[in-house]
Every structure is written in C-alpha cells, then in structure tokens.
Structure 1
C-alpha cells in the first residue's frame, strides 16, 4: 500500500515550492512565514479578525454569484468553507505573523488559500488542485487586499469595541456598588496631595464610575466611524475588476452575515488611503487607558501602608508580595492594569505614526495598526474584568482611620470660613498647624461658635455637599 505523500507542489511567480500535504495554506502563506518571522504570534491569536475575513469572502462569493460572475457550484463551496471558519474551525491554518510587509497581502492570501483548499475538499478535489477553484480567481474575485484587509480590521475592531464597552460597564457597576457601600464614610479630600476639604469615600468611588461611563459613550461614538467600509474599492478605490453593482451589493451581504451595520464609504479612493477612523479609535482607547491608570494610581495610594502610608482602604490580598519581606502584600491588580494602560498609550503612538506614514493611494502599515488596536481592545477589556473581580469588589474601608483624619485635619477650617470669617479661619489654621491641636478645639476655645453650631456644621451631610451659608456682617 502506497504511503500518502508528505508534501504537495504549488507554484507562484517566484517558482515551485513544497507545501505540507495536510496544510490548508499555500505557497503565498509559506513565503510569508519565511519572510516575516517577527513576533512569533500568528494572526490566529485574533479570532475576530479570522472570522471577519471569512465573512468578507462569503459576502463576496454571494455577491459575485448574484451578479453572474461566479457559478453556483464554486460559490456554494466557498460559502461552505467560509462558514466553517466563521464557526471557529481551521483557525490554526491562519499562520502568518501579525506584523508583516505588504499592506496585509499575506493575511489576505492566507485566507484565500485556506478557504480555497477547504472548498476544493468539499467539491471532492485535492488541496492545491486549483484548476477547479482558485484562491485568486474565485475566492478573491472582485477584491484586493487593499479593500479586504481594512474591512476585516474594521469588522473585527467593531466587535471588539462593544466587548470592551461591556467590560467597562462591568467595572463601572463594581465602582457604583462601592460608592453606595461607602456613602456614609467621611474622609478628607486632597488636592496636590495636601489636605483639602471633607468628602465621603462614596463620592470618591462614584467619580471612578462616572469616568468609565463617559468613555463607554466615547467608544460607541468611535464605533460609528469604524462602520464605514471601502469594500468594493479593489486596488486603490476605483473599483477596477469589479462589477458596477458589486460594492453596494457586497456591503449589504456583509451586513447580513456579520450583523454589523456596515456602510459603503462615499468616496472609495479616500477611504482606501485614509486611516483616520483608526486614529480616532486609538485616541479614545488611550483616553480610557489614561483614566483607568489614574484610578489605579488612586487605589494604590489610598491603600498604601498598612502602617506607614495612607491606609484609608484595604485592597483584597491576592498573593505574597515579597521574596524577602515576610507579610508584605502588594497592590498587584492595580499594578497590572497600570501596565496595560502604559501599553495602550504606546500602541496609540504606534497607530499615529503608522497612519501618518501612508503614502498616496494606500497605507502599507495597517498590519501594525491592526496588531496595536487589537491588543489595546483585548487587554483593556481583560484589565477591566480583572480589576472588578480581583480588586474593587473586595475593597474595604478603614472607617476609623478616615474619620480620625478628618477630625485632626486643618482642612475642615474651610467649612467654618463662612461662619467665622477668613481672617479668623486663617489664624486658627496656623495655630492648629503649629500646636498640633484640633481646629474644633481652638474654635470653641476662642468662642467663635457654640458647641451646637460647630457640631451642626461638621456633620457629614453638611461638609460634603452645597449648603445655604450665613451672610457675613459688614
């Protein structure tokens, strides 16, 4: 009995190459594997991108069949192969590096070859027997890398945006729960790390929820720009080698298949060279990262100690913090989210330079834009879930520490200013600072307010929200 061959021969303009017989990818992908051994990370790490590529190829096959350009037998086989990829099969065959030259051609050809070879099998032919169904002539019909790749990037990013929005909402709700739990916990607010005026810990945590909620809306706005596709533009936006009715038809098909409300760009030449929507999205992701990092800075500072720091809140202990200092526990969850934020800020710089580096009718650097955006969206989403589950949900307040800091703080003199006057308040603040005595003690000693008046003014509900104040006598 003859053994099955271990390789098959495929040909391209550079010559013949041996391809592993079991592989669904072909010669173009093989050359990309050899040329772009850069990160060791294949595009399969981004399943949304792989599914988007298959959705585009499926939409194209259906549109080309409807326009009479592709026969039903081949179209049905291509659609069946695409459906398998959409259902998360064959993703291991998408092997090219996430960073590649050629404006994404290697990714597009990887998809064309995998889908073509699987379609050949469905038709009863051997992989590589391209006289029956060809990666370029049939799977890539009416397409170019220059419209397929950015469309796939936008589709995948659109899905990722709303996954990130959900993760941010999850974290926002965790902060909202803590804001409610800490609504009655009085503490000192600070500006420039100096005592300011009293507030509640609940107010402090509510700001984190609001910050996240604002950026959920900004991400949804960015998604509106991502919906605009250049599919049908082919090489540079003129639509060469595509039917006049192809662009609107394939867009409708893609919307039906993907569930994403895609629209065709009004000017396909502009859309093929302009990466503005990616820059806009990346800027919003950076905004999210900056805010999230600021929140984590606060959590680390407020929990610092436990004896020699602020010690106002306790973060749940997640792991031993030192190989040499027994008993030390570090704020590892905020720290990892800080690092995600640093990465996202760097990714934004990469996207900015890559978008700026485009020339004339095409931007050749969309692969690094894709890699940067996908990392940012994915890691921010995981960071939000991690911060909510492993940190925020378990935070507790050191209520006595917080109350004591208010009582001994000179900052509460600001609340007395409307009642005793700025000059008196200034003198009391200076004396309290020099003597170490409490503000309330000095106010009572000088008989500037009665004990009843002072107690009323220093109530949490008075100290932490606007109040009607007395008019100073002339």
Structure 2
C-alpha cells in the first residue's frame, strides 16, 4: 500500500484562507482547529482540561442557533442538527476534539472555531453527510451565524465561570464546616493568644478555629457577588459592539435563549461597544478568588506555627502526619498539607496579577488577551478547589489539641497580667510583668506573695471563662 493511499484513508482534505490541509478523518475538528493545535503548543493545558468551558461554549452556540431559527436565518433542519450536536457536547461528548491550548493568540478565535467546527461536523453527520462535508452545515455560515469570536467567546467564558462558581463555593463550605467542628471540639481548651508573635491574652483554641470558619464564610458572599457580574453579556455585539452582520432582534432573542437554557438571569449589556472591550469583570472575580487564597494562606501559616516543634516549638496542636519529612532526619514529619496550600495561594495571587495586566493591555475596541485571563482564572479556581478539599480531608479533620501544653503556657505567661489590669491598675500590673520577666517567677505566685489579691480573688479573675470573654469588672 502506498503512503499516499494510507494518508487518504486516514485523513480528509479541508481548506481555509491559508490553503489546504489534511485533517484526521475521524476528527470532529477541522482545518482551523488543526492549525491552532500546531501553532499554540504553549501551556500544555488544552480546552479539554475544563469541560465546563466546552459545555458553555456549546450552550452559547445552541442559543445562537435558536435565535437564528426564530429570525428565519437558519433552515429548521440545520438548526435542529446544531441543537442536537450542542446537546451532545453539553452531555460530555466529543470533548477530546477540543485540543487547542488555553493560551492562544487571536483573542479566542481558535477556541471559537474549535466549537464551530466540532458542532458543524457532528451536525453534518446528523444531516446524513460526513465530517468535512460543509455543504450541509458550515462552521462559519451556520454555527457562527450572527456571531463573532468577540461576543461568543466571552459569553461562553462567563457562562462557564457562573456554572463553575457553585462547585468552588461548595468546596469552601465543606472546609468551613470542618473548622466549625474543630471550634466546637476545642471550645474548652485554654491557650494564649498572640499578637506580633508575642504573648497577648488568653483565649480558647475553639475561638481560634471558629474565627477561621467565620473569615472563610465571608468569602461565599464575595465570590457569589463577583460571579453575578458575569450575568451581563455582549451577545449580538459581533465584531466590536456595533452588531454588524446580526439582525436587530437577534441580541435580545439570543440572550433570552441563554437564560432559558442555563436557568440564569442573563442580560444583555447596556452598551455593547463598551462590553466588547472591557474585561474588568474578570479582574474583579479573579480578585475575589485571590482574596480567598490570601485568607487560606494566612490560616495555613497559623497551622504551621501552632503545630511547630513538636519539642522546640509552640506544639499547641498536632497535624495528622501525612508522610516522612526528611531523607536524612529520622522521625521528622513536616506540615506538608498547609505548605502546599500556601504554594497554591502564591500561584493564585500571581494569576490575579496576570489577569490584571492582561485586562489593562486591551486596546481600542477589543482586548486580545482574554485567553490568558480565562486560563489564569480557571487554573486558580481548580487549584483552590483541589487545595481546599485536601486541606479539609488530610489536615483539618485530623487535627488534635495538646490541651495540657496550651494550659501550661497560659499559666507561665506574662500575658495573664492583662486580666489583672482592671483590678490592680496599669502601673502595678506593669511592675508585676517586669518582675516576672526578670525573676522567672509566675505572675500568679507574685500576686500572692505580695498580697495584692487573695487566692480566691485571683482564681476568680483567672478563670478561663473570665479571661476569654467580656465580663463586668465591678
């Protein structure tokens, strides 16, 4: 068998503006997607990595086909074939044909054309033709009708981020619940609070963990509020927002279908020229994701400090041991889970700067850097979801308290003198603290030796419940 014959059996010939190319005969993608796969070997992460993005592109194309059918611009058979092809993609089929790198030149044209070609070729099969026989259903003439990459691509992205946000929030809620449970479990463990890494005043370990739960709970509303900005889309803007090559009623009809398909309150932007060039909604959402990452990193810093030692550090809590910590030091176990979440946070923070700079780089009527923004946000969300799940399951759930160690440090701390301040006054309390530091004696013993308070009075003041919450002084 000749080489040419083998190739003819394995490929089909397609053409575009730049000429003819052989495309794998079984591929649902076409010549433009093939060129993009060859041109953009950049991150190694393709569209296939994020199924919700592919599905959302199909949702966008499905809504466009329905609007075009209503307007009499699409033959009913072709519209139904596109509709069915989109439904199959939404159901998870043909995703392996979206092999374009997430980072690409062309403002997302390669992603848009990948969707157009896969949908068109599947529609061709439904209509009784073969892949590549675009006389039945054409990627540009039919699937991309009344659209441009510049409205279809960002709309697909926004729908994807809207659909993806609940899974991020759900993972966050599970982590919050884990902190809440530890807060209850450690409610009666007295310990020293610290400011500037120095002894401050007593608190409970439960209060510390409840605070972590509360600060993370605040992020649910922040994420949902910023995601809601994606409900405003620019479908019908076409190239730059003027709506060229679309009919006057197309935009409203398409957005209505988007809302019906997704069940979301999707609306058309008030100014399509502005909406086509502005990408700051991505900046705001990325910043919300960064805010969550910053809080998670701070908490993980605390966990590493609280578990430090174990013999020469704070050693107030025990993190569950996950793996041996050293190739040379026997017995060493490191806080590897908090460490990896710290690293995720650093990456998310860097990604947000990337999104910010890419958004700033927009020029005139379009921002061509959207693919980088999209990749950065999806990567951040995915890493955070994975990181939070690991943090909960492999760290927080298994944390135990060293209650005696915590109590011992409270008793030996100079910090308890603060509780005496309302009774003894600032000057006397300062003198006690100075003497305790100098002599190594405990504040408790010095108060009794100097007959400043009776044992009963002192014990009452230093009860855990009296030191860890407000109480009447007189």
Tell me whether the two structures share a fold, i.e. TM-score over 0.5. Answer: yes
* CA deviation string 1:156-180 (max 9, x = no partner): 1112222111111110110000011
* CA deviation string 1:212-266 (max 9, x = no partner): 1111111111012111111111111111111111111111111111233211111
User: 1:37, 1:378 → 2: CA distance?
Assistant: 21
User: 1:67, 1:327 → 2: CA distance?
Assistant: 73
* CA deviation string 1:366-423 (max 9, x = no partner): 0000000001111111111111111101100000000000000000001001111111
Do residues 228 (structure 1) and 244 (structure 2) align?
A: no
Alignment counterpart, residue 121 of structure 1, candidates 111, 119, 125: 125
User: 2:38, 2:394 → 1: CA distance?
Assistant: 42
Do residues 278 (structure 1) and 282 (structure 2) align?
A: yes
Alignment counterpart, residue 159 of structure 2, candidates 148, 155, 158: 155
* CA deviation string 1:454-474 (max 9, x = no partner): 00000011000111113xxxx
**Residue equivalent to 1:146:** 150
Do residues 348 (structure 1) and 372 (structure 2) align?
A: no
Do residues 14 (structure 1) and 14 (structure 2) align?
A: no
User: How is 1:262-301 mapped onto 2 (pairs within 5 angstroms)?
Assistant: 262-301=266-305
* CA deviation string 1:105-137 (max 9, x = no partner): 000001100110011011110111111210000
Runs of 4+ displaced beyond 4 Å: 1-4
Do residues 28 (structure 1) and 6 (structure 2) align?
A: no
Deviation at 1:332, TM superposition (A): 0.8
Q: Which moved more, 1:256-265 or 1:101-110?
A: 256-265
**Residue equivalent to 2:103:** 99
SS in 1 for 2:43: coil
User: 1:258, 1:114 → 2: CA distance?
Assistant: 21
**Residue equivalent to 1:307:** 311
Deviation at 1:18, TM superposition (A): 0.7
User: 1:228, 1:30 → 2: CA distance?
Assistant: 32
| Native 8 Å contact 1:343 1:376 kept in 2 | yes
TM-score (norm 1): 0.98
Q: Which moved more, 1:439-448 or 1:255-264?
A: 255-264
Do residues 435 (structure 1) and 444 (structure 2) align?
A: no
**Residue equivalent to 2:462:** 458
TM-score (norm 2): 0.98
SS in 2 for 1:5: helix
Alignment counterpart, residue 5 of structure 1, candidates 1, 9, 18: 9
Deviation at 1:31, TM superposition (A): 1.0
Unaligned ranges ≥5, structure 1: none
